[in-house]
Amino acid sequence: MHTGFCGVPGLSVEHRFVADRQALAVSKGASGLEYVTQHVSETSGVTDVANGKYVAFILSSVSKDLKVTDNGDAMLTLVLVEGNDVLYGPAVATTLQHACRR
């Protein structure tokens, strides 16, 4: 349970979700460093504990490594890009915008 959701005092919600993450690692270049692409699908719901109203949504997103650099000290530097998170549902965008507006 989250209390003070979106910075609103007294707003307590439960958040439930199921996520499916798939990652693909591919070696590239002479160094053979691995570049990762990740696909995420998530079905979520946020319920107002006080009144039982809820918002359900489906999220789909992609992220991938653009550049991987071996720093030579057992550390890697990653530059990655994350695509837009896309929410599906008739009232999701409006509901989330209003819920988190201060």
Whether pTM exceeds 0.85: no
Domain ranges, residue 78 = 2-99
Q: How many independent structural domains does the chain possess?
A: 1
Integer Cα distance of 15 and 52 in angstroms: 12
Each residue's pLDDT tens digit, 72-93: 999 999 898 887 666 655 555 5
Average pLDDT over residues 48-75: 88
